[in-house]
A and B are shown apart, each in its own frame.
Chain A
């Protein structure tokens, strides 16, 4: 691209437009990253007060390692995320393959149905599950109910991501392989799986990241002894501010960013 089109077309007014857009973009990116920077900077502050700079220190990170409550919450969060993701990846991938075989209205209908848990507001899903677990299934609230609840929305995301990947799949490859004498199983393992694999992995990583961060649904369906990290952070924020949260938040932020980046990179790598 040579001279920006706006300048060419509209002269100085076009330049004004571009300037305005640039200023807006700078402000918005500043707005988006201000809290990130604040968290990271103050996690290294030596002060006891969360908003006063008290010299460089890593004491809050050191303290974090001794905090048994947080470590156990971290364990719960990881177990939950891995279990929910395994469930969701199997169910969601199977569903995506199944949906691909349907035709016409039914397919559209079921695709919407599998995506519905993403569209329903999390609060509504949260109270629905709480009432279901307590009044109908009569399950003890805890890790089990957390895993079931997370698997619901994670399945929807995995089905969507794998489905998007399958859309680019050329059915003629399958037919060609079958004509050449390959068995169904060979077609699946040698052709389909390698092609769809990035979608499955991307969906699983997305599910993992979402489960690690999920708060609202967990807050409603959790029980004694199953506190996740977001729930613990929420109660720390409610109880009062300690700089330990800054350190914890920085670490969680980095973990989420790495996971999300990986998920997006894997998905976009082979599709472009």
Chain B
């Protein structure tokens, strides 16, 4: 039986080949096809030309910075949270960790909907602030703005940060902190010079995961953002499903996203190998 792994592997390989690899290849094919209903089979680079449209470039730029802000947000609250969980007694640690994962495992769409009821004008947040006398005349105007998108993204993708950071902290030898303290290091020095460098591989992985996911997220900006806060995911969705359709442009955008993310992955792998090497 050891000699025949291919019999077991073949169905899966064929299935994913037909319904995963082939579809991915088609993105590249359609990106160089002509616009039609929905695609005309002629060869040309016009879709890539349309990438430089003044309507498209700001959207790419906005996606890049919103994703960066969301990644930093996840790191800022996820890193101390991971430390908190790792320092719990062994028995309860698993439960604390599990509690972070549950919202992700639960239906995210429904939870985003809950965020709209919290952030909307005259919603729960503004109600509460109004009662405390903290509400400005014009309201917060949070929903349909970039901050709302960032809140939603941090909410949705926090577990992707906590997962690798927590894993790297679990491997961290906390006796190193004791050694640092014995040698006279204060809290800040110990954390910045000892804990942080040792957990950096986990941080890099976490940032990578979150950035990749948030960059082309389409649901969060669709529900929490507005027409003025389109991200690249919205643009791709519109070119495919709304009129006027432009599948070649949508495919070219997807390729651009994948290429940009590949560069990010490459850089972080270089950083990663330098950290370990």
What residues of chain B lie closer than 8 Å to A51, measured between beta carbons? 117, 120, 122-124, 127
Q: How far is the CB of B81 from chain A (nearest CB, A)?
A: 5
B219 touches A131 (CB 8 A): no
Q: How far is the CB of B76 from chain A (nearest CB, A)?
A: 9
| Chain B residue nearest to A20 in the complex (CB) | B80
* B42-50, B134-142, B197-205, B249-257 - interface stretch: B249-257
Q: Determine if B230 is an interface residue (Cβ-Cβ < 8 Å).
A: no
B 81-116 to A, binary, CB cutoff 8 A, 1 in contact else 0: 101110101000010101111110111111111111
B5 touches A101 (CB 8 A): yes
What residues of chain B lie closer than 8 Å to A252, measured between beta carbons? 107, 110
Partner of A38, one of B6, B118, B158, B178: B118
Q: Determine if B9 is an interface residue (Cβ-Cβ < 8 Å).
A: yes
* A57-65, A66-74, A151-159, A194-202 - interface stretch: A151-159
Partner of B8, one of A98, A151, A253: A98
What residues of chain B lie closer than 8 Å to A56, measured between beta carbons? none
A190 to B212, CA, bound (A): 43
A216 touches B219 (CB 8 A): yes
Q: A51-B124, A99-B9, A135-B30 are in contact. Are A241 and B19 (CB under 8 A)?
A: no
What residues of chain A lie closer than 8 Å to B107, measured between beta carbons? 212-213, 230, 249, 252-253, 256
A34 touches B118 (CB 8 A): yes
Q: Determine if B267 is an interface residue (Cβ-Cβ < 8 Å).
A: no
A241 touches B117 (CB 8 A): yes
Q: Which of A227-272 contact B (CB under 8 A)?
A: 230, 233-234, 237, 241, 245, 248-249, 252-253, 256-257, 259-261, 264, 268
A256 to B81, CA, bound (A): 24
Q: How far is the CB of A242 from chain B (nearest CB, A)?
A: 11
| Chain B residue nearest to A236 in the complex (CB) | B113
A21 touches B105 (CB 8 A): no
A123 touches B237 (CB 8 A): yes
Q: Determine if B218 is an interface residue (Cβ-Cβ < 8 Å).
A: yes
Q: How far is the CB of B238 from chain A (nearest CB, A)?
A: 12
Q: How far is the CB of A39 from chain B (nearest CB, A)?
A: 5
What residues of chain A lie closer than 8 Å to B114, measured between beta carbons? 34-36, 38-39, 249
B12 touches A155 (CB 8 A): yes
Q: Which of B205-226 contact A (CB under 8 A)?
A: 212-213, 215-219, 223
Partner of B99, one of A29, A121, A151, A259: A29
B19 touches A25 (CB 8 A): no
B111 touches A39 (CB 8 A): yes
Q: How far is the CB of B15 from chain A (nearest CB, A)?
A: 6
B124 touches A101 (CB 8 A): no
Interface residues on A, range: 35 or more
Q: A38-B117, A98-B5, A213-B109 are in contact. Are A17 and B19 (CB under 8 A)?
A: no
B 2-45 to A, binary, CB cutoff 8 A, 1 in contact else 0: 10111111011101100110111011001000000011000000
B258 touches A124 (CB 8 A): yes
Of the candidates A95, A241, A257, the one having the most CB atoms from chain B within 10 angstroms of its own CB is: A95
B155 touches A257 (CB 8 A): no
What residues of chain A lie closer than 8 Å to B15, measured between beta carbons? 91, 151-152, 155
| Chain A residue nearest to B191 in the complex (CB) | A17
B84 touches A24 (CB 8 A): yes
A38 touches B219 (CB 8 A): no
What residues of chain A lie closer than 8 Å to B105, measured between beta carbons? 209, 256-257, 259-260
A128 touches B24 (CB 8 A): yes
Q: How far is the CB of B52 from chain A (nearest CB, A)?
A: 21
Q: List 24 A-B contacts (CB under 8 A).
A: A5-B87, A10-B190, A35-B155, A36-B106, A94-B8, A94-B11, A98-B5, A101-B1, A110-B13, A121-B258, A123-B216, A124-B257, A128-B23, A131-B30, A131-B251, A135-B26, A148-B19, A184-B1, A215-B109, A220-B237, A233-B110, A233-B113, A237-B223, A241-B116
Chain B interface (Cβ within 8 Å of chain A)? Answer: 1-2, 4-9, 11-13, 15-16, 19-20, 22-24, 26-27, 30, 38-39, 77-78, 80-81, 83-85, 87, 89, 94, 96, 98-103, 105-118, 120, 122-124, 127, 155, 158, 174, 177-178, 181, 186-187, 190-191, 212-213, 215-219, 223, 233, 236-237, 240-241, 247, 250-251, 254, 257-258, 261
Chain A interface (Cβ within 8 Å of chain B)? Answer: 1, 4-6, 9-10, 13-14, 16-17, 20-22, 24-25, 27-29, 31-36, 38-39, 42, 50-51, 90-92, 94-95, 97-102, 110, 113-114, 116-117, 120-121, 123-125, 127-132, 134-136, 148-149, 151-152, 155-156, 159, 184, 209, 212-213, 215-216, 220, 230, 233-234, 237, 241, 245, 248-249, 252-253, 256-257, 259-261, 264, 268
Q: A241-B116, A253-B111 are in contact. List 17 more A-B contacts (CB 8 A).
A: A9-B177, A13-B186, A32-B99, A39-B114, A51-B127, A95-B12, A117-B16, A121-B257, A123-B216, A125-B20, A127-B236, A129-B23, A135-B39, A209-B105, A216-B218, A233-B109, A237-B223
